[in-house]
A and B are shown apart, each in its own frame.
Chain A
Amino acid sequence: MPGGVILLLILGVILLWLVVSYNGLVRMRLRVREAWAAIDVQLKRRYDLIPNLVNTAKGYLKHEREVLENVTRARQQAIAASGPREQARADNQLTQTLRSLFAVVEAYPDLKANQTMASLMEELTSTENKVGFSRQHYNDSVLAYNTALQSFPTNIVGSVFSFQPSEFFQVEEAAERRAVKVEF
């Protein structure tokens, strides 16, 4: 085989590798962004479920008004929060108030037996779990992306085309992800 053809073949293989690596990095970076947006979807769902929950519980929890008010206030703050750090703190706070509410509900069998309340609590518990899982998925995507950016030989493509690594999502409270487990 003439030398020229071999050279062309080698160049072709290199070009192919370049294309595959670049596209791989693009795909992973997009996945990170998608995962970040998915967290907001779950958070929003949680905000939307809470007013209903508070209303249903209000009639039964006449003597526990403070718990309900805490939940409502924490929700307002979480919606109004700006910036990821403040947002994370406000969400943690909201989770705490919800846990207190769930604990209180345990003591009121009438309220527990209420079908609407039961299904609302299941939805809210599930949404808490989903918030946690969506953050986990975001971190998993960041890990995959950052690892590819640092590994040889993909790191060459990464630096040539200026791919930036992403930041992990951190929660201050380690136990935050294992949300309230309400088993009826």
Chain B
Amino acid sequence: MTFHEQIAANRRNSFLLVAAIAALTVVIGAVLGQQYGNGPTGVGIAGALIVIMSLVAYFAGGRIMLGVSGARLLQKHMDPVLFNVVEEVAVAAGIPPPAVYVIEDTALNAFATGRDPLHAAVAITRGLRQKLSRDQLQGVIAHEISHIRNRDTLYTMMVGVMVGVVAMLCDSMLRRTFWGPPGRRRLELKGRSYSGGGQAGGGAQALFVILGLVLGILAPLFAKLLQMAVSREREYLADASGAALTRYPEGLASALEVVAGDKEILEGANRATQHMYIVNPIHEFEERASALMATHPPIQERIRRLRSM
């Protein structure tokens, strides 16, 4: 596939996956709402939660990320070659060059943050900076800048928020199923009516209770799987977009090979930030993480796709 075709395919898949998560969230909202006796209100509350939490997370921004990882802001005179590499990719992308940070760690990794190209930064570890050639470096930077251009921080955050909302709603739903509405008598499992609200017959209510139980247990897991799938798809998209910027996929392919050969763990990273890096920093062997739960696609597959462009 050419990189244009790959980009189109990745965008489509991401959109479908996010739509799936959104649908899941809305369904849960409806079921929970029905338990309270008012389905549409449940949907409305789910929607409102998503919007509010998204706005809060959107403006909290990349500064937290940079602080947590121990990154240092670079001036041009400190590393003119790196600066030039970043500027070249920015020219190819038609965006102002992002701020450049260095992480003083010998591990090999890089990440990008920023909600849009005007408020963006790329960070790279000292180890990676030293090990890569100019072309390889440019491939990595192009991948990172593509994340910014594709609004992946926004995407990831939206998905993360939805998964969080799903978890919250399911929690609430399960609790209501088991403990009944607050202040009323406890749930009795043998044929009595469960929730309050005085709505239609016991049969329909029982159905919603069972649905609630099933959804409540499975939905958060399902949402998580969808989230990981979105994350992997966006990584492939960033690879393809980066190759489209440099017109030289071999740069990133060979850089990934260098990184794949190095098993060192990056110290500033943890579960909350792992998805932001170019390769997963906390799993020593890519294969060990089960394919469905991985935030990043397997490196060999990424290299293969790049070399087939």
Interface residues of A (CB under 8 A from B): 31, 34-35, 38, 42, 119, 122-123, 126, 129-130, 133-134, 136-137, 140-141, 177, 181, 183
| A181-B134, A183-B133 known; A134-B84 Cβ under 8 A | no
B88 touches A126 (CB 8 A): yes
Contacts of B133 in A (CB 8 A): 183
B88 touches A122 (CB 8 A): no
B91 touches A133 (CB 8 A): yes
Bound together, the chains give a CA A129 to CA B142 distance in angstroms of: 14
Bound together, the chains give a CA A136 to CA B142 distance in angstroms of: 14
Tell me the smallest distance from the CB of A119 to a CB of chain B, in Å.
7
Can you list 27 A-B pairs, Cβ within 8 angstroms, ordered by A?
A: A119-B80, A122-B80, A122-B81, A123-B84, A126-B84, A126-B85, A126-B88, A129-B84, A129-B88, A130-B87, A130-B91, A133-B88, A133-B89, A133-B92, A134-B91, A134-B92, A136-B92, A136-B247, A137-B91, A137-B92, A137-B93, A137-B94, A140-B94, A177-B247, A181-B134, A181-B135, A183-B133
Residue of B nearest to A134 (CB): B91
A38 touches B84 (CB 8 A): no
B81, B88, B135: residue with the most chain A Cβ atoms closer than 10 Å: B88
Number of residues on chain B facing chain A (CB within 8 A): 15
B134 touches A130 (CB 8 A): no
Interface residues of B (CB under 8 A from A): 80-81, 84-85, 87-89, 91-94, 133-135, 247
Q: Decide if the interface of chain B is mainly helix, strand, loop or mixed.
A: helix
Tell me the smallest distance from the CB of B80 to a CB of chain A, in Å.
6
Contacts of A141 in B (CB 8 A): 94
A42 touches B134 (CB 8 A): no
Bound together, the chains give a CA A89 to CA B85 distance in angstroms of: 26
A35 touches B94 (CB 8 A): yes
Contacts of A181 in B (CB 8 A): 134-135
Contacts of B87 in A (CB 8 A): 126, 130
Bound together, the chains give a CA A95 to CA B84 distance in angstroms of: 19
Tell me the smallest distance from the CB of A181 to a CB of chain B, in Å.
7
B80 touches A42 (CB 8 A): no
Tell me the smallest distance from the CB of A39 to a CB of chain B, in Å.
10
7 nearest interchain CB pairs?
A: A126-B84, A133-B92, A133-B91, A137-B94, A130-B91, A129-B88, A134-B91
Bound together, the chains give a CA A104 to CA B85 distance in angstroms of: 25
Residue of A nearest to B133 (CB): A183
A38 touches B91 (CB 8 A): yes
Bound together, the chains give a CA A31 to CA B93 distance in angstroms of: 12
Contacts of B81 in A (CB 8 A): 122
Tell me the smallest distance from the CB of A35 to a CB of chain B, in Å.
6
Residue of A nearest to B135 (CB): A181
Contacts of B88 in A (CB 8 A): 126, 129-130, 133
Residue of B nearest to A183 (CB): B134
A31 touches B91 (CB 8 A): no
Residue of B nearest to A184 (CB): B81
Contacts of B134 in A (CB 8 A): 181, 183
Bound together, the chains give a CA A181 to CA B91 distance in angstroms of: 18
Contacts of A133 in B (CB 8 A): 88-89, 91-92
B80, B89, B93, B94: residue with the most chain A Cβ atoms closer than 10 Å: B94
Residue of B nearest to A34 (CB): B94
A42, A122, A130: residue with the most chain B Cβ atoms closer than 10 Å: A130
Contacts of A126 in B (CB 8 A): 84-85, 87-88
Bound together, the chains give a CA A122 to CA B81 distance in angstroms of: 7
Bound together, the chains give a CA A138 to CA B294 distance in angstroms of: 37
